[in-house]
């Protein structure tokens, strides 16, 4: 991998990532993800859940934080899992 490309998941950027192929590591911008998440689910607490999941440094902590969010708002977990977690969750991320 030569570089990490961080995107806000805009269609144009996704097309560029495809062209660059395996020479890059893809990443999603957690700030943009948190803004979308907050506008969809509304509360500061929901945003705190997202950041806790994003910053998890072990799979056990990642799973525990997902389960905590699921207890509160299952549809929020479904939304987050639809955003390719390997591109924005620390423990799952393949880049640096």
Q: pLDDT tens, 49-58?
A: 999 999 999 9
pTM: 0.81
The total of other beta-carbon atoms located within 10 Å of residue 89's CB is 22
Residue of higher predicted confidence among 54 and 25 = 54
- Give CA separation, 43 vs 46, 54, 66, in Å: 5, 17, 17
16 confidence band (pLDDT: 50, 70, 90): low
Ranges of each domain in the chain: 3-91
Task: Give the count of beta carbons closer than 10 Å to the beta carbon of residue 31.
Answer: 10
The Cα 74–Cα 78 span in angstroms is 6
Q: How confident is the model at residue 20 (pLDDT cuts 50, 70, 90)?
A: low
CB atoms inside a 10 Å sphere around CB 20: 12
Locate 66 and state its tokens: 């997902």
- Choose from 11-25, 31-45, 49-63 the range with maximum mean pLDDT: 49-63
């Amino acid at each position: 991998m030569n570089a990490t490309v961080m995107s806000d998941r805009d269609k144009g950027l996704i097309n560029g990532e495809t062209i660059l192929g395996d020479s890059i590591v893809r990443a999603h911008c957690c700030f943009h993800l948190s803004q979308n998440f907050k506008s969809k689910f509304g509360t500061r607490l929901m945003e705190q859940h997202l950041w806790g999941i994003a910053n998890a440094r072990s799979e056990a902590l990642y799973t525990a934080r997902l389960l905590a969010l699921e207890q509160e708002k299952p549809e929020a977990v479904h939304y987050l899992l639809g955003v390719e977690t390997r591109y924005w969750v620390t423990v799952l991320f393949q880049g640096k």
